[in-house]
């Protein structure tokens, strides 16, 4: 029997000065909700300043009287305030293996816990506790969740950060095929405020990618909550014959009626979920049959504990869960523990994940379009100490 209590909760910031990368062109134009205002939708995207830049990332660590510490990260800045305002202190003295109780206590402790920054903080605590449990028992999290019937976990390539200039879309789409990905997702550069020219670019993106990959790859497209119903209907009518495998987040997450009306007027499957933070949020989408894929995020929706529950809910309605790929660690372990029909694959943001895990040893990365099953205890997050030039406590409770 493991006799341990939570003895400390720390949020640490690790940082370093990263040399200039001349090949990094910044961030391309992307249609976002705020793109309705011209000043927030630069035609050339967002450029990075020249020269070295400071990179800082946050990690949550939960220590125990047994001398074992759980860790999860990188953690969003939004989690810091709720943890500092009492959430971290409320964990001290508790049984770290009582993960379901701790999740429920944190959810009930504040009336605003369902959404927003508090739910992001709960997610961080939950994931750190699952890592801690894995370290205490010497097992990876996917084994704690029931094991896996698969030897590898497929990934789809998410192209966020890819420019759409002449030849660039075709080159990237072909390269992803060569690397073994059987599905790729592309992000629109424009929304309704960019008018007819923007619509043509959004239609052309589907034409260009389908012409490159043919039937050898699934193709998905993400509007990032920036369209309205009329615009989405026009786009769907223009590209339906090119067989997009899903249209993601055409509307804000709560716009259920817009999802329902679009779903009734197109054969293109719809996807959403990364901005749904609660089981009550996803239920009406499932009950009304509005989604082809659910994309809840374990770093925002309540952590590993609630992602597993959401997978069970979605499976009941025959809707697969492919978690949003904000971070890969928890998503990979949960998907590995589920049947392939329930969780067919994970999302991998190939431009962003390597830098997101810059300070870690052996950050997870797919080979041939899929991941091998992790083998280290917990989530396997270990620091590459030679890359960390500065480290400081942002929060410390003991």
**CB-based contact 173:209 (threshold 8 Å):** yes
Element (H, E) at 10: strand 6-18
Q: Please identify which residue in the block is written with the tokens 């030849």.
A: 167
Buried-state track 140-168, b at ≥16 Cβ within 10 A, e below 16: bbbbbbeebebeebbbbbbbbbbbbeeee
Q: What is the 3-state secondary structure (H, E, C) of the chain?
A: CCCCCEEEEEEEEEEEEECCCCCCCCECCCCCHHHHCHHHCCCCCECCCCCCEEEEEEEEEEEECCCCEEEEEEECHHHHHHHHHHHCHHHCCCCCCCHHHHHHHHHHHCCCCCCHHHHHHHHHHHHHHHHHHHHHHCCEHHHHCCCCCCCEEEEEEECCCCCCCCCHHHHHHHHHHHCCCCEEEEECCCCHHHHHHHHHHHHHHHHHHHHHHCCCCEEEEECCCCCCHHHHHHHHHHHHHHCCCEEECCCCCCCHHHHHHHHHHCCCCEEECCCCCCHHHHHHHHHCCCCCEECCCCCCCCHHHHHHHHHHHHHHCCCCECCCCCCCHHHHHHHHHCCCCCCCCEEEECCCHHHHCCCECCCCCCECCEEECCCCCECCCCECHHHCCEEEEEEEEC
Whether 324 sits among the annotated catalytic residues: the reply is yes
- Cβ-based burial of 86 (10 A; exposed 0-12, middle 13-18, buried ≥19): exposed
Q: What structural domains and CATH numbers belong to the chain?
A: 6-138+385-397 (3.30.390.10), 143-372 (3.20.20.120)
pLDDT of residue 221: 99
pLDDT of residue 317: 98
pLDDT of residue 49: 78
pLDDT of residue 48: 78
pLDDT of residue 51: 80
pLDDT of residue 26: 84
Each of the 398 residues of the chain gets a pLDDT tens digit; together they read: 789 999 999 999 999 998 877 777 788 999 999 999 989 999 889 887 778 889 999 999 999 999 999 999 999 999 999 999 999 999 999 999 999 999 999 999 999 999 999 999 999 999 999 999 999 999 999 999 999 999 999 999 999 999 999 999 999 999 999 999 999 999 999 999 999 999 999 999 999 999 999 999 999 999 999 999 999 999 999 999 999 999 999 999 999 999 999 999 999 999 999 999 999 999 999 999 999 999 999 999 999 999 999 999 999 999 999 999 998 999 999 999 999 999 999 999 999 999 999 999 999 999 999 999 999 999 999 999 999 999 999 999 99
pLDDT of residue 373: 97
- The 10 Å Cβ neighbour count of residue 362 is 12
Q: Which of 41, 164, 275, 324 is catalytic?
A: 324
pLDDT of residue 107: 98
**Token pair belonging to 364:** 């997870």
pLDDT of residue 393: 96
pLDDT of residue 186: 98
Q: Reading across the β-sheet that carries 69-75, which strands appear in turn? A: 69-75, 53-64, 6-18, 390-397
Alpha-carbon distance values, 132 to 52, 62, 158, 307 (Å)? 35, 8, 30, 18
Total length of the chain = 398
| Backbone φ and ψ of 5, nearest 5° | -130, 155
């Amino acid at each position: 029997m493991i006799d341990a209590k939570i003895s400390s909760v720390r949020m640490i910031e690790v940082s370093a000065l990263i040399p200039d990368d001349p090949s990094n062109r910044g961030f391309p134009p992307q249609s976002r909700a705020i793109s309705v205002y011209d000043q927030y939708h630069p035609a050339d995207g967002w450029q990075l300043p020249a020269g070295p830049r400071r990179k800082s990332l946050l990690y949550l660590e939960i220590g125990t009287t047994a001398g074992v510490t759980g860790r999860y990260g990188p953690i969003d800045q939004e989690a810091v305030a709720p943890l500092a305002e009492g959430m971290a202190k409320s964990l001290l003295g508790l049984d770290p293996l009582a993960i379901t109780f701790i999740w429920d206590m944190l959810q009930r402790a504040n009336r605003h816990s369902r959404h927003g920054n508090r739910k992001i903080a709960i997610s961080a605590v939950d994931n750190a506790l699952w890592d801690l449990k894995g370290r205490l028992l010497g097992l990876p999290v996917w084994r704690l969740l029931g094991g896996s019937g698969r030897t590898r976990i497929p990934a789809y390539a998410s192209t966020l950060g890819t420019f759409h200039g002449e030849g660039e879309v075709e080159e990237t789409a072909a390269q992803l095929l060569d690397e073994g990905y059987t599905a790729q997702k592309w992000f629109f550069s424009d929304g309704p405020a960019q008018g007819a020219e923007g619509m043509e670019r959004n239609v052309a993106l589907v034409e260009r990618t389908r012409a490159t990959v043919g039937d050898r790859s699934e193709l998905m497209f993400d509007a990032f909550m920036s369209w309205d119903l009329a615009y989405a209907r026009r786009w769907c009518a223009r590209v339906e014959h090119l067989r997009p495998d899903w249209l993601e987040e055409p509307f804000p997450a709560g716009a259920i009626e817009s999802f329902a009306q679009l779903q009734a007027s197109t054969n293109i499957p719809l996807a959403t979920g990364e901005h749904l933070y609660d089981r009550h949020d996803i239920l009406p989408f499932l009950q009304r049959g509005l989604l082809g894929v659910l994309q809840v995020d374990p770093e925002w929706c309540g952590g590993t504990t609630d992602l597993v529950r959401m997978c069970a809910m979605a499976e009941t309605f025959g809707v697969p869960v492919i978690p949003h790929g904000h971070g890969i660690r928890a998503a990979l372990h949960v998907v590995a523990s589920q049947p392939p029909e329930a969780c067919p694959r994970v999302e991998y943001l190939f431009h962003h994940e390597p830098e997101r895990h810059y300070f870690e040893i052996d950050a997870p990365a797919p080979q041939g379009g899929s991941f091998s099953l992790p083998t280290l205890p917990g989530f396997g997050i270990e620091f590459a100490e030679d890359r960390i030039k500065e480290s400081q406590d942002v929060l410390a409770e003991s």
